[in-house]
Amino acid sequence: MDGETTIAQGLHVTDDSAGYDAACKRVLSEKAILARIMKSCLEEYKECDVNDIAVKYIEGQPQVSAVPVLPDEGGTVISGMDTEDKSVHEGTVTYDIRFRAIVPGSEERIALIINVEAQNDFYPGYPLIKRGIYYCCRMISSQYGREFTGPHYEKIKKVYSIWICMKPPQYRENTITRYRLVEEHLVGEGKEPVRNYDLLSIVMLCLGGPDGANYDGVLRMLDVLLSNETSEAEKRKILQDDYDIQMTQTMEREVSVMCNLSKGVEEKGMAKGLTNGILTSIKNLVKNMGISVEQAMSVLEIPEAERQKYMDLLERQ
């Protein structure tokens, strides 16, 4: 029943790009996938079996862009995943995937957040690492009134922000990089227990392709899973044979949605590129040859039925 609900949410999205992004998030929120990311990137789980991580340590059912959390409302502890932090004073932050996990060998909870960024520009006007730091700070500050009250800062839970970058620059392809707080002795050797300051980490997984170095493990798994060039059948075979991931019915459907929508996104992109190219040609002819828009469209042999569309687009520019 849960699988039907998940896929139904995906099918209600009408925009191909938004639908593809949503399907990616839901696939990544599968515990079998999250467990392998955690084992590869988080030191607390490096010695754990992936099945134990999925069954024993991931708390509740990860949800995707669904649950609003209001830090200003007081001392309720919320289990599972909170996808949005809203504060009257701090604005709004939306998380793609967010959930809690138990640290092996203890009852301590680590709040985890995974963000999926499907973007061509690795630097979208700002360094992604700074956004990751901001997300960690928000996850820590939002614990007040929910995880602890008053001066009990010893109850602060550790947080992670894990970024899966699908199209990084070439020099970052097939890399996993971690950023965290460390102790630095400037004068003398006064030591603090690591658990008192090791409270936030940002991990950047930058995907690449089979032609680059380090194309194995979790990097290859994620590249295969999220690729818009790998067929659905090939994805299923690689995940099952190489990573022992038995795809659930829900996961198969989401992968199918991703494959179908990626084709739609590509086709729309090609159509948009063709339209922009024709508009540029029309403007160049008008400017350089001193002819009218109608004459330019005649020179380009644009069909009569399509000319009004280009007239409207030119008027908007």
Q: Say if residue 149 is exposed, middle or buried (CB neighbours under 10 Å; 0-12, 13-18, 19+).
A: exposed
Q: List, for residues 16-51, the tens digit of each pLDDT value.
A: 566 677 778 888 888 999 999 999 999 999 999 999
User: 160 or 273, which is more confident?
Assistant: 160
Predicted confidence (pLDDT) at residue 264 exceeds the cutoff of 90: no
% residues pLDDT > 70 (the chain): 74
Residue 277 CA from chain centroid, whole number? 32
User: 13 or 114, which is more confident?
Assistant: 114
Angle made by CA atoms 198, 202, 205, in degrees to the nearest 5:
140
Residue 188 CA from chain centroid, whole number? 42
Per-residue tokens: 191: 């030591």
**Model pLDDT, residue 99:** 87
Whose structure tokens read 């070439």?
170
Q: List, for residues 147-159, the tens digit of each pLDDT value.
A: 889 999 999 999 9
Report the C-alpha gap between 242 and 154 in whole angstroms: 42
Report the C-alpha gap between 314 and 306 in whole angstroms: 13
Model pTM above 0.75: no
Per-residue tokens: 5: 């609900």
Under 8 Å between Cβ of 199 and 140: yes
Helix (H) or strand (E) holding 258: helix 249-289
Q: List, for residues 121-144, the tens digit of each pLDDT value.
A: 678 889 999 989 988 998 899 888
Cα dihedral value 260, 264, 270, 271, nearest 10: 150
Classify 94 as helix, strand or coil: strand
Who's near 90: CB < 8 A, 6+ residues apart?
71, 138, 141
For the residues 261-281, what does the mean pLDDT come to? 61
Nearest residue to 116 (alpha-carbon basis) of 26, 39, 224: 26
Q: Write the single-letter amino acid at 165.
A: C
For the residues 207-228, what does the mean pLDDT come to? 91
% residues pLDDT > 90 (the chain): 34
Report the C-alpha gap between 298 and 72 in whole angstroms: 63
Report the C-alpha gap between 284 and 265 in whole angstroms: 28
For the residues 200-209, what does the mean pLDDT come to? 94
